Amino acid sequence: MRSRLLSALALVGVALAPSAFAEPPADLADKLNAHSGQPLPIEAIDDSPVPGLYEVRLRGGNTLYSDADGRYLIVGDLYENADDGMVNLTEQAANQRRKALVDAVPEDQRVVYKPAGEVKAKLTVFTDPTCPYCHKLHAELSQLNDMGIEVDYLAFPRMGPSSDAARQLARVWCADNRSEAMSAAFRGDEVDAPKNCDAPIAAQYRLGVESGIQGTPAIIFPDGKMVPGYLPAKRLAAMLDVNADGDS
């Protein structure tokens, strides 16, 4: 597979003109739609590290690459054969975008579980209290906090922003003490909250979709890297370079 990938990238380098980086053609989206025969869910088109090749990001997190005429497409990740090994440029760019999106959410729109002492690291988790593996991760929050790891929750109702889970999350966000309300929701307890509260559940769901999230829990690291699904607390701590005693 690796040899085929390298061969494909080599062919791209031969086929595309070795011009300097340039802005994507203004009509590239129209050309892509014309060739595909149906509208593509294009979110943005940017330059790529390969001259003449443009990064086309689709809604939902997928990425493909196109020539200037929208005729030749590469579906999959773009790698650089760097001096220190293969670098996944597509994943790197996605992490940077995801980090910017998540970092823009202010603390007062999160459900925050802070350590009692110094914060050594922070994870942002898109969660849903109806998700079994979210329950499993939530049960280990105290372990993460004890190791100095802050955990911030954002809402991602798996069945969409009009689901029962979304309404349950809205009550959590509207509660006087969100962290206690979230823990109550995970226990299956009824959460009391004002009926006319405006909770950002739909906005956070859209943010999750834009960040490439398809399920819960979705764990976002400080650099924007996403790990889909549950990981044990000690594994998460190791990935953050925090040991079991909370030292980093």
Residue 193 structure tokens: 């909250």
Helix/strand/coil percentages in the chain, nearest 5: 35, 20, 45
Say whether the peptide bond before residue 217 is cis (omega within 30 degrees of 0): yes
In whole angstroms, what separates CA 71 from the centre of its chain? 29
Pairing of strands 121-127, 218-220: antiparallel
Active-site residue, selected from the candidate residues 98, 134, 174, 178: 134
158 is catalytic: yes
User: Cα separation of 108 and 126, whole Å?
Assistant: 16
User: Cα separation of 32 and 216, whole Å?
Assistant: 32
134 is catalytic: yes
Active-site residue, selected from the candidate residues 57, 128, 152, 178: 128
Active-site residue, selected from the candidate residues 57, 98, 158, 178: 158
For 77, phi and psi rounded to 5 degrees? Answer: -85, 145
Active-site residue, selected from the candidate residues 57, 67, 110, 131: 131
- Residues that are catalytic: 128, 131, 134, 158
